[in-house]
């Protein structure tokens, strides 16, 4: 079974510090995609960053970077210079080919709280 594991139910970080949110995945596919989404209390899911399984370099988007370690099947999200507005739920997700189409599976999420 394809699976996404986020082992940190909650994390705290001091404002302006960096924080790493862990994500491991399990798949036998060679081609897949990894995503991180942010879900504030308002409910919408906000796309943050994407990493393809064949991408050799780690993805970066502004203050977000994805630490992709393919052999270890991990795709940790690093947020640099945390801001109060970063407080939210963060979901790791994986897209893989299944049954003729691309299917996205989400992890259970990590709740991040940024402390002033």
Partner 1 sequence: DAMVIQNPRYQVTQFGKPVTLSCSQTLNHNVMYWYQQKSSQAPKLLFHYYDKDFNNEADTPDNFQSRRPNTSFCFLDIRSPGLGDAAMYLCATSRDLGATEAFFGQGTRLTVV
Q: Which residues bind partner 1 (CB under 8 A)?
A: 4, 33, 37, 42-47, 50, 52, 91, 99, 101-109
Cα–Cα distance, 13 to 95 (Å, whole number): 29
Q: Please name the residues in contact with 5: beta carbons below 8 A apart, sequence gap of 6 or more.
A: 23, 24, 25, 26, 107
Nearer to partner 1, 37 or 86 (CB): 37
Q: Report CA-CA distances (Å) from 89 to 17, 52, 71, 108.
A: 18, 23, 27, 10
Find the shortest distance in angstroms from Cβ 64 to partner 1.
13
Residues facing residue 51 across a β-bridge: 34
Rounded to a whole number of angstroms, the minimum distance from the CB of residue 90 to partner 1 is 12
* Minimum distance from residue 25 beta carbon to partner 1 (Å): 13
Provide, rounded to whole angstroms, the least separation between the CB of residue 14 and partner 1.
25
């Amino acid at each position: 079974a394809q699976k996404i594991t986020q082992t940190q139910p909650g994390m705290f970080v001091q404002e302006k510090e960096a924080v790493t949110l862990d994500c491991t995945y399990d798949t036998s596919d060679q081609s897949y995609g990894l995503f991180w989404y942010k879900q504030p209390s308002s409910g919408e899911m906000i796309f943050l960053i994407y990493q393809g399984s064949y991408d050799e370099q780690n993805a970066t988007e502004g203050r977000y970077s994805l630490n992709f370690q393919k052999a270890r099947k991990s795709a940790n999200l690093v947020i640099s210079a945390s801001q109060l507005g970063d407080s939210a739920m963060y979901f790791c997700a994986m897209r893989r080919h299944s049954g003729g189409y691309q299917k996205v599976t989400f992890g259970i999420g990590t709740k991040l709280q940024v402390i002033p």
